[in-house]
Amino acid sequence: CILMYWINNTRSHKNKVDRFLHKMRLNDEQLNDISARFQAEMKKGLSAESNAAAAVKMLPTHVRSTPDGTEKGQFLALDLGGSKFKVLQIKVREDQGIRKGGVEIEEKTYPIPNEVLNGRGTELFDHVSESLKDFMHEKNINPKKKHPLAFTFSFPCEQPTLDQGFLLEWTKDFSVRGLQGKDVVDSLRQAIKRTGGMDMEILAMVNDTVATMMTCGFDDKNCEVGVIIGSGTNACYMEQLNHVDLVEGDEGQMCVSTEWGALGDDGTLDDYITEFDREVDACSINPGKQIFEKMVSGMYLGELVRLVVLKMAKLGLLFDGRVTNALRTKGTITTAHVAAMEEYKNCLGHTREILESLNLSPSADDCIAVQHISTIVSFRSSNLVAAGLAAILTRIQKNRNTRELRITIGVDGTVYKTHPQYPKRLHKVVRRLLPECHVRFVLSESGSSKGAALVSAVAQRLASRKRQTLNSFKLSWEQLQLVKARMRAALQAGLKTDGPSEVKMLPSFVYRTPDGSEHGKYLALDLGGTNFRAMLVNFKKGLQQNTKLYHKIYKIPLEIMQGTGEELFDYLAQCVGDFLDYMGMKNTRLPAGFTFSFPCEQTALDTVSIQLTLWTKGFKATNCEGHDVVDMLREAIKRRDEFDLDIVALVNDTVGTLMSCAYEDPQCQVALIAGTGSNVCYMEEVKNIENDADFSKMCINTEWGGLGDDGTLDDIMTSDDTEVDQNSINPGKQRFEKLTSGMYLGEIVRRVLLNLTIRGLLFKGYVSEALKTPGIFETKYLSQIESDRLALLQVRSILQHMGLEGTCVDIITVKEVCGAISRRAAQLCGAGMAAVVDKIRENRGLDRLNITVGVDGTLYKLHPHFSRILQETTRALAPQCDVTFLPSEEGSGKGAALIAALAKHMQ
Ligand code: 0WK
Ligand code: 0WK
Ligand code: BGC
Ligand code: BGC
């Protein structure tokens, strides 16, 4: 009967507390109600419209997958924000999982002095980086080596990328000044710089819930939820990307840190808030904030119990109404006390000790009552967490459209780890609220930093993949020498054989450069890669500088470029007619030179039997290849029957450019076009050409664009290059041109960006329609994007203009890709040019050669770095040649007119 008396007595005292704290005792209906309210808040937080006003921020973390076992590497890690600040070294071995010892950890906890907790931001991060330095020193970690660093930061942060985190607000007991709204990753970088003596690469910043999910996910593939019930509380889970409005993209998943601690900050939980909760909030460092957290987490549970005990004592319901200063003092009952009062074995003993430590002399009944208060307060905490988890699991059920959810929840935090009853209660209520779900709870044994290291391992792998992609466009010195040698061999081979050779070495029948004797009026027609130019040139004998020149540029529509040959030449004839009209010279039959920037085989300078061997660049007009393009123009002019022309010469645009530049600088013996297309011509020794003309030299149009058509460049072509070639209008042709000219560089960039995005390395993996559109990334954008004068924002607007939205990191990557591809193009042209000038030097048996190269083309003229890199590469690969590069002023048209003058002179 003593026992019965004891039981009834206990029950009655508990009932007294139950009545007093009835508002804290939540039944399943209320928990489901809270779960439903939380689900509504989650929706608000995920939607772009309502996110700003939402209390529960639902922060995207840029963690797109849970571990897949391939993560590996050695990392330093910082774990800041929980009750302990830790510095760690983590070694992750591939495919071994934590349980199989796949992860080794060394760690050290560093206290954070109060003055730092409430000091300035720089002081906090100086403390962090000095602790890091101390740890490295203690563990003999080489300070000279660059170390990947993983950063767990357990506060609400907006993250545009994995390695940026803008602090929204402090929670728990942190109230450091000057960091809210700042990128804490950058603050850490600055502090590490200030501390000095270490070199860190901060790969990722993660919230402790995310790191906990990743840590548990390394062993359990079903782990897609992470929850912290520690000094603070929060939960994250894998959400479908198409529900995360703040991040572009619909494919796949992304981990979202709910920051459920703020549930109720907008009054959503007011009907569940008790007077004790209001008092805890009012006395906290962040009143009105983190309402849910203040009902649940370790920072506040002890205080809640104290306030309840204090109130009941004041009401005479405890200790006969006796109250002590200790009991009135904030923080004298801690969450550790609450846990102790719930110890299975000696809960009442602990309760008595704690109350006596507050100078109280509790009766046995008082101890029963106070112990029960602790139970109710911590029970409510686990119930509220259960309601929160039920909301998250319900959302995942809906996302997967399944009721039978098998899922694991990774858990960490002192309350969950040290409070004896907490885990069991939590598991039980979650399973009771969602009986159809198979929910497994996994405790994150040794903290979240393993997870942070795993996230960093993924970031490192992604970064290295990006670096691999960029490196695949890097040419070594040896490779450039190889290209020079291959170009040289191809030049040689092209001169020899009449048969097919990749570098055609087409004779131009121009045997000398101008000597100033040219005079008279000539018409020049210039069909380039994108435009057609008509010009009238008037030369004055020996007075180069007095040359008069009038011209008009006509854009060539794509449908004309790729229509019938007849339409193309009718269009050219129409333009000429328009120009002569404009010049009032329709009735004058002027001698004309025709610059035709495509490979043509000709047997003489003037216009007998000229054959277009193949279209290049964007041209594909039918019935032209193998035909005499001068005849076709003549036919078109005849069809037009408005004016007549005496076309006396046809030259390639490189030859025209050489003439035009040689008119200024007689030392000009080579000409390069680096524009829509890519090509070079130069004055070759006639003895090296199967031609018996009575001249010493002849200008050879190399058509070097064809190098590689027989596979000689396969070892430097990347998969993206191959894709561009295979999807071009002339697959397998003009391989060298496709690596070096304006027609293709933009497209190579687009394909690289597309492949990086598909692999999740760019634009957050979001493959926009724009990115899938061939030709959308025009080469002119490369020149703009690579200009040093442009800030990232301006580059962003260029990308936006193309329908590409990117983060700062994305924009830097785009700039890097553009730079890598244009740099390679310029280097390849430099290697080719070195082959040409060195051949001329050897032709002439010279040790040193002084020579001028005339240049034209939008890529050379407009790209901010192309010309410099090309010149540097040429000089480096042909050190015995002093090469001057002379940009052509008036294009090759003037050159064509000069040749027309030559041709006229020879008639
Ligand atoms: C241990 C984790 C840490 C997290 C902490 C939370 O390693 O990242 O912040 O748990 O629990 P607390 O220390 O606040 O009780
Ligand atoms: C201007 C020359 C023209 C040549 C063009 C190449 O006058 O003959 O075809 O440069 O540059 P693009 O217009 O292809 O950039
Ligand atoms: C913070 C969360 C953190 C949680 C657990 C809360 O106060 O806002 O970011 O995950 O504590 O440490
Ligand atoms: C053509 C050459 C031309 C070069 C530059 C190439 O596509 O084959 O004939 O010189 O473009 O315009």
Please indicate whether residue 830, judged by its CB atom, sits closer than 6 Å to ligand 4: no
CA atoms within 13 A on the CB side of 379: 17
Report CA 503 to chain centroid distance, whole Å: 38
- Is 694 labeled as catalytic in the residue annotation? no
Atom of ligand 2 nearest to the CA of 529: 14
Three-class secondary structure assignment of 584-625: CCCCCCCEEEEEECCCEEECCCCCCCEEECCCCCCCCCECCE
CA nearest neighbour of 153 among 230, 229, 80? 80
pLDDT in tens, 399-424: 999 888 999 999 999 999 999 999 99
pLDDT at 892: 84
Residue 478 CB neighbour total at 10 angstroms? 8
- Residue partners of 659: CB distance under 8 A and separation at least 6: 510, 513, 514, 651, 892, 894, 895, 896, 898, 899
Closest C-alpha to ligand 2, atom 4: 528
Atom of ligand 2 nearest to the CA of 533: 7
pLDDT in tens, 142-163: 999 999 999 999 999 999 889 9
Please compute the mean of the pLDDT values over residues 777-782 and round it to a whole number: 90
Instruction: Band the pLDDT of 890: cuts 50, 70, 90.
Output: confident
Using CA atoms, how far apart are residues 294 and 301, in angstroms rounded to an integer? 8
Beta strand 678-685 with 668-674: parallel, antiparallel or unpaired?
A: antiparallel
Closest C-alpha to ligand 4, atom 3: 597
Ligand 3 center to 871 CA (angstroms): 57
- Residue partners of 220: CB distance under 8 A and separation at least 6: 408, 410, 440, 442
pLDDT over threshold 70, residue 498: no
Please compute the mean of the pLDDT values over residues 428-454 and round it to a whole number: 92
CA nearest neighbour of 243 among 392, 389, 388? 392
Residues in the chain: 907
Ligand 2 center to 781 CA (angstroms): 18
pLDDT in tens, 650-660: 999 999 999 99
Cβ proximity of 57 and 262 under 8 Å? yes
Order of strands, sheet of 531-539, starting from the edge strand that comes earlier in the sequence: 548-555, 531-539, 520-527, 591-596, 646-651
Instruction: Band the pLDDT of 607: cuts 50, 70, 90.
Output: low
Please compute the mean of the pLDDT values over residues 491-515 and round it to a whole number: 87
Please indicate whether residue 618, judged by its CB atom, sits closer than 6 Å to ligand 4: no
Ligand 4 center to 23 CA (angstroms): 84
Point out the catalytic residue in the list 131, 284, 378, 597.
597
pLDDT over threshold 80, residue 440: yes
| Sign of the CA dihedral with 633 first, then 634, 638, and 640 last | positive
% of residues, the chain, pLDDT over 70: 97
- Is 653 labeled as catalytic in the residue annotation? yes
pLDDT over threshold 80, residue 222: yes
Atom of ligand 4 nearest to the CA of 529: 12
Instruction: Band the pLDDT of 788: cuts 50, 70, 90.
Output: confident
Please indicate whether residue 385, judged by its CB atom, sits closer than 6 Å to ligand 3: no
| One-letter amino acid for residue 750 of the chain | R
Please indicate whether residue 738, judged by its CB atom, sits closer than 6 Å to ligand 4: no
Closest C-alpha to ligand 4, atom 5: 677
Domain boundaries 1-35+268-443, CATH class:
alpha beta
Residue 695 CB neighbour total at 10 angstroms? 11
Ligand 1 center to 418 CA (angstroms): 12
Instruction: Band the pLDDT of 64: cuts 50, 70, 90.
Output: confident
| One-letter amino acid for residue 191 of the chain | A
Average pLDDT along the chain: 92
Point out the catalytic residue in the list 306, 533, 735, 841.
533
| One-letter amino acid for residue 35 of the chain | S
pLDDT in tens, 327-357: 999 999 999 999 999 998 889 999 999 999 9
Quote the pTM value: 0.70
Q: What is the DSSP letter of 321?
A: G
Q: Which ligand is nearest the CA of 618, by number? A: 4
Please indicate whether residue 232, judged by its CB atom, sits closer than 6 Å to ligand 3: yes
Q: Which ligand is nearest the CA of 419, by number? A: 1
pLDDT at 514: 86
Q: Could you give the C-alpha distances from 403 to 30, 398, 407, 863, in angstroms and in order?
A: 22, 8, 12, 59
As a 3-state breakdown, the chain gives helix, strand, coil percent values, each rounded to 5, of 45, 20, 35
Instruction: Band the pLDDT of 72: cuts 50, 70, 90.
Output: confident
pLDDT in tens, 307-335: 999 999 999 999 999 999 999 999 999 99
pLDDT at 515: 85
Q: Determine the straight-line distance between the first and last CA of the chain, rounded to whole angstroms.
A: 137
Question: Tokens for 3?
Answer: 């026992």
- Is 597 labeled as catalytic in the residue annotation? yes
Q: What is the per-residue DSSP string for 834-892?
A: HHHHHHHHHHTT-SSEEEEEEEE-HHHHH-TTHHHHHHHHHHHH-TTEEEEEEE-SSHH
Domain boundaries, the chain: 1-35+268-443
Ligand 3 center to 448 CA (angstroms): 13
CA nearest neighbour of 739 among 714, 766, 758, 767? 714
Closest C-alpha to ligand 4, atom 6: 677
Please compute the mean of the pLDDT values over residues 458-468 and round it to a whole number: 81
pLDDT at 96: 55
| One-letter amino acid for residue 4 of the chain | M
Ligand 1 center to 152 CA (angstroms): 10
pLDDT in tens, 715-754: 999 999 999 999 999 999 999 999 999 999 999 999 999 9
Q: What is the per-residue DSSP string for 36-99?
A: HHHHHHHHHHHSTTTTTT-SS--EE----S---S---EEEEEEEESSSSEEEEEEEE-TT-TTT
485 or 251, higher pLDDT:
485
Using CA atoms, how far apart are residues 811 and 756, in angstroms rounded to an integer? 13
